Amino acid sequence: MAKEKIILTGDRPTGRLHIGHYVGSLRRRVELQNSGEFDKIFIMIADAQALTDNADNPEKVRQNIIEVALDYLSVGLDPEKSNLFIQSQISELTELTFFYNNLVTVQRLQRNPTVKAEIQMRGFNDDNAADNKAGIPVGFFCYPISQAADITAFNATVVPVGEDQEPMIEQTREIVRKFNSTYAPVLVEPEILLPDNASCLRLPGTDGKAKMSKSLGNCIYLSDDSETIREKVRGMYTDPGHLQVSDPGKVEGNTVFTYLDAFCKPEHFEKFASCFVGKKVSFSFASLDEMKAQYMAGGLGDVMCKNFLYAVLEDTLAPIRERRHRFEQDIPYVYEVLRRGTEAARAVASQTLAAVKRAMKINYFDPGVLDELIAEQSEKYR
Ligand code: ATP
Ligand code: MG
């Protein structure tokens, strides 16, 4: 039998999901879901992981579970095809983590570049931080190991995520190899699936900072209303050297163009042609390359570019927002989806845990095993 194709991915319930999540992972997930190529799809709300750096704020995590679930349903994840579940309700994942802990060194975790960057960003290494923030929580430091448990528990073959997750998947692969060579070939080595569009690998924030991130306040949320999006786009970082409309502008590092790279489709130029009709000058573009060429040559102003970007974003986000409003009116349904998804996910994780324990010879009371053990030990003392 050919190996099953299984997806696992997820998000931390630390806030509503934003357009960085959308282009970095969500959009791809929905495409993969609808491709029919996958045997199983598991989408996890990683609340236990969110608690590793939000231990003092369980209410925030609890509130955001429903926000993330609403975002999932509104982008088109379909509970009939994708299994949506809550991480903390599957204790098998914690058990797997505990066993995998033995296969990873502190030094290896210290070298994980994403963990390093996140420790820096959260100020865990800052001696002057408030008491409850000083030092690195052990759970946070070890979260790559718990992520390996999440991925392997479901025998995932493919993990569609943003670029910041690359070191996590690499670490998971190492744990799988170590486990399989030490005990028995039980675990499946996953592949990472990165966005194929370079600007989606790590979408910058509206302030031009390297990553759009809930914690940096530079996000356009999937649930933002259209006026909020208009305001955020209006205030966006562009090319600081582009002072006069007639000046040549830079598209590299210009967030407006990065977002266009991520969202713009060829048909948008015809659909939103009116954005380029001005009082003094008008343009007609057939493609993003043509628009960029004009910007670089000079004459095309930031206001026109931002109006066009706003129209493009609205084209994608308005249907998502409308679907969200509908699900917001049916909260019992949303929790039922999560409850059922969690139950189904637990059944799979418990099979993997059983196989792991068998491989590690810690399955003393499995059917048949106890009899064997009794016979073996009795023989020893005869
Ligand atoms: P937090 O600040 O709590 O870590 P986050 O915004 O980084 O939140 P996560 O839940 O950690 O979000 O990430 C969920 C998924 O979204 C991951 O696959 C991650 O790679 C992807 N992702 C997050 N931010 C971006 C971004 N700006 N561009 C592309 N992908 C992103
Ligand atoms: Mg993150």
Q: What's the CA gap between 71 and 69, in Å, rounded?
A: 5
In angstroms, what is the span from residue 218 Cα to ligand 2's centroid?
14
The low-confidence residues of the chain, meaning pLDDT below 70, are: 1-2, 127-133
| Alpha-helical regions (H) of the chain | 19-21, 27-35, 47-51, 58-75, 91-100, 106-110, 113-122, 138-141, 143-153, 166-182, 226-234, 255-263, 268-271, 288-297, 302-328, 331-359, 369-381
Ligand 1 closest atom vs CA 219: 27
Q: How far apart are the C-alpha atoms of 129 and 261, rounded to whole Å?
A: 39
C-alpha–C-alpha distance, residues 318 and 16, integer Å: 16
Pseudo-torsion of CA 50, 51, 53, 55, nearest 10°? 150
Question: What is the rounded distance in angstroms from the CA atom of residue 100 to the CA atom of residue 193?
Answer: 23
Instruction: Kindly state whether residues 28 and 153 are assigned to the same domain.
Output: yes
Compute the distance from residue 18 Cα to the ligand 2 centre, in Å: 12
Q: Which of 8, 9, 12, 51 is the pocket-test mutation for ligand 1 (most atoms within 8 Å of CB)? A: 12
Print the domain residue range for 59.
6-202+330-373
Q: How many domains does the chain have?
A: 2
Do the domain assignments include residue 207?
no
Q: Whose CA is nearest to atom 6 of ligand 1?
A: 213
Q: How far is the CA of 304 from the centre of ligand 2 (A)?
A: 33
- Same domain, yes or no: 281 and 349: no
User: 156 alpha carbon to ligand 1 midpoint, in Å?
Assistant: 20
Nearest to 240 by CA among 208, 278, 218: 208
382 is a domain residue: no
Same domain for 112 and 189?
yes
Give residue 79's pLDDT.
98
Is residue 219 in some structural domain? Answer: no
The pLDDT of residue 130 is 61
State how far the Cα of 168 lies from the Cα of 186, in Å rounded to an integer: 20
Q: What is the CATH number of the domain that holds 174?
A: 3.40.50.620
The model's pLDDT over 1-56, given as tens digits with 9 standing for 90+, comes to 568 999 999 999 999 999 999 999 999 999 999 999 999 999 999 999 999 999 99
Look at residues 3, 24, 6, 11 and name the one whose alpha carbon lies nearest to residue 259: 24
Same domain, 92 and 120: yes
Three-state DSSP at 197 gives: coil
- R_g of the chain computed on alpha carbons: 24
Pocket test for ligand 1, best of 25, 122, 168, 218 (most atoms within 8 A of CB): 25
Q: What element of type H or E holds 159?
A: strand 158-160
Between the CA of 214 and the centroid of ligand 2 the distance, in Å, is 9
- Is 213 part of a structural domain of the chain? no
- 60 lies in the same domain as 171: yes
| Structure letter (DSSP) for residue 127 | T
Whether residue 164 sits in one domain with residue 295: no
pLDDT at 133: 62
- Which pTM does this prediction carry? 0.94
Co-location of 20 and 162 in the same domain: yes
Would 221 be classed as within a structural domain?
no
Q: Which ligand has an atom closest to residue 12 CA?
A: 1
Residue 123 alpha carbon to ligand 2 centre in Å: 15
Written as one letter, the residue type at 308 is F
Q: Which of 7, 8, 9, 11 to mutate to test the pocket of ligand 1 (most atoms within 8 A of CB)?
A: 11
149 and 23 in a common domain: yes
Q: Which atom of ligand 1 is nearest to the CA of 14?
A: 3
Q: Which atom of ligand 1 is nearest to the CA of 212?
A: 27
Residue of minimum CA distance from atom 5 in ligand 1: 213
Crossing angle between the packed helical segments 302-328 and 226-234, to the nearest 10 degrees: 150
**Residue 162 CA to ligand 1 centre (angstroms):** 7
Question: Which residues, in sequence order, are CB contacts of 57 under 8 Å at separation 6+?
Answer: none
- Rounded Cα distance between 83 and 72, Å, is 11
Q: Does residue 287 lie in a domain region?
A: yes
Given a contact cutoff of 8 angstroms between Cβ atoms, the answer to whether 232 and 199 are in contact is: no
Q: Which atom of ligand 1 is nearest to the CA of 162?
A: 20
Is residue 301 domain-shared with residue 361, that is, in the same domain? Answer: no
Atom of ligand 1 nearest to the CA of 11: 10
All residues at 6 or more sequence positions from 190 whose CB lies less than 8 Å from its CB, including other chains = 8, 151, 152, 156, 157, 158, 159, 169, 172, 173, 176
Structure tokens at 305: 């570019």
Compute the distance between CA of residue 279 and CA of residue 320 in angstroms, rounded to an integer. 33
151 CA → ligand 2 middle, Å: 16
DSSP 8-state symbol, 277: B
**Ligand 1, atom 25, residue with closest C-alpha:** 20
The answer to whether residues 186 and 90 belong to one domain is yes
Ligand 2 centre distance from Cα of residue 42 (Å)? 19
- Which ligand has the shortest distance to the CA of 159? 1
Length of the chain as a residue count: 382
92 found inside a domain: yes
| Residues with a CB atom less than 6 Å from ligand 1 | 11-12, 14, 20-21, 24-25, 161-162, 164-165, 202-203, 211-215
What is the pLDDT at residue 216? 82
The span from the CA of 267 to the CA of 265, in Å, is 5
Distance between CA atoms of 204 and 163, rounded to whole angstroms? 12
| Residue 132, pLDDT score | 55
From CA 373, how far away is CA 379, in angstroms rounded?
Answer: 10
**DSSP secondary-structure letter at 160?**
E
The Å distance, Cα 248 to ligand 1 centre, comes to 34
Same domain, 31 and 116: yes
Question: Does the residue 131 lie in any domain?
Answer: yes
pLDDT tens readout for residues 193-234? 998 888 889 999 999 988 898 878 899 999 999 999 999 999
Is the same domain home to 133 and 280?
no
